């Protein structure tokens, strides 16, 4: 059977049968299963080698569908009307129809509407929502192409819908309303500035790391490209790396006196959105370059630069 293709009807048939399908979204590719089928949901955890305490995000085809699976407040409805479909996930009190396997036993569920025409077409063909974390082995870099999914998961995924390269490149921003205040549980493809402008209030808390996660992507160590990642100042002293094979991932183009085996700029023009789109691909390529270590740097802490920095910091955890 052909593993990668564009046949949405084929993907729907496999999902109806309880199988796993690679799903293109605007953020990263997801590993999708029927969110209401407990056995199918558990197969996601098995395929990804994901710990059962790390909850999944549920994808629906429009914001109104969220009402079927969670208790939606007026504030969330207002933000959803502005940003859905798009790279944002809302943490809401779940309704009993959502299995505990999806939420890792939590009383809340993450819901989002993906902004990708193929994902939306598929969701509209189904009578159930899709649980769909990133389609890669747990703890590794998230996939930006259908080929990345096949390479990471192999036979564990029945079919991968090919929707081209992901537009955003980092996962969705996860937000939660706590006592009337906005809390961000994961930095992602929707910038804090956009949320604050739409909400008319400041984000009060950015809580992105936890050993008992309330949402995906909160574990301290994540996004491992297979070799060590180190945050450096490229204008500073790099002598400790002079006897190592070095791969460079910089914001803009950097030229080092020390020989390198790979050198990539995330955005030659200094565009943080372009950098986000290129991040995971650059990490994957650097991980395969034969280098001993990846040297990288932080981006400006603004817009999607915050999300890129968050991923780089987690990748650099020893």
The per-residue pLDDT for range 206-256, each reduced to its tens digit, is 876 666 678 787 777 789 899 999 999 999 999 999 899 999 999 999 988
Q: Taking 90 as the threshold, does the pLDDT of residue 81 lie above it?
A: yes
The pLDDT value given to residue 204: 81
What pTM does this model have? 0.94
Per-residue pLDDT for 164 more than 70?
A: yes
Q: How far apart are CA 304 and CA 318, in angstroms?
A: 24
pLDDT tens track for 130-158: 999 999 999 999 999 999 999 999 999 99
Residue 106 has pLDDT above 90, yes or no: yes
pLDDT(1) > 60: no
Give the Å distances, CA to CA, from 32 to 23, 37, 45, 156, 212. 6, 12, 11, 12, 23
Residues 114-149 as b/e (b if ≥16 CB within 10 A, e otherwise) read: bbbebbbbbbeebebbbbbbbbbbbbbbbbbbbebb
pLDDT for 259 beyond 90:
no
Ordered domains of the chain (ranges, CATH): 4-206 (3.90.870.10), 228-315 (3.40.50.11030)
Percent above pLDDT 90 for the chain: 87
Phi/psi region, residue 115 (left: phi>0; alpha: psi -120 to 50; beta: rest), is: beta
Compute the average pLDDT of residues 293-304. Answer: 96
């Amino acid at each position: 059977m052909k593993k990668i293709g564009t046949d949405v009807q084929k993907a729907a048939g496999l999902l109806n049968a309880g199988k796993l399908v690679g799903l293109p979204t605007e953020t990263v590719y997801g590993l999708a299963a029927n969110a209401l089928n407990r056995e199918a949901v558990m197969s996601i955890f098995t395929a990804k080698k994901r710990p059962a305490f790390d909850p999944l995000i549920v994808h629906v085809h429009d914001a109104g569908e969220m009402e079927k699976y969670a208790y939606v407040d007026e504030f969330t409805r207002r933000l959803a009307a502005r940003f859905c479909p798009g790279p944002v996930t809302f943490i809401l009190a779940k309704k009993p129809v959502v299995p505990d396997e999806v939420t890792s036993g939590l009383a809340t569920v993450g819901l989002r509407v993906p902004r990708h025409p193929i994902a939306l077409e598929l969701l509209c063909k189904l009578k159930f929502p899709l649980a769909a974390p990133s389609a890669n082995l747990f703890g590794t870099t998230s996939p930006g192409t259908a080929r990345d999914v096949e390479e990471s998961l192999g036979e564990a995924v029945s079919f991968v819908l090919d929707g081209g390269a992901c537009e955003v490149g980092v996962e969705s921003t996860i937000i939660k309303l706590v006592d009337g205040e906005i809390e961000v549980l994961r930095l992602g493809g929707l910038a804090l500035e956009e949320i604050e402008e739409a909400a008319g209030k400041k984000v009060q808390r950015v809580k992105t790391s936890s050993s008992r996660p309330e949402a995906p992507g909160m574990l301290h160590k994540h996004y491992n490209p297979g070799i060590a990642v180190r945050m450096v100042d490229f204008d500073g002293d790099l002598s400790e790396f002079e006897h190592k094979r070095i791969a460079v991932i910089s914001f803009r183009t950097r030229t080092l006196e020390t020989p390198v085996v790979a050198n990539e700029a995330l955005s030659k023009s200094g565009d943080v959105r372009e950098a986000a789109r290129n991040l995971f691909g650059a990490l994957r390529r650097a991980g395969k370059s034969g280098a001993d270590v990846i040297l990288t740097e932080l981006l400006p802490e603004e817009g999607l630069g915050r999300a890129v920095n968050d991923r780089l910091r987690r990748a650099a955890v020893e």
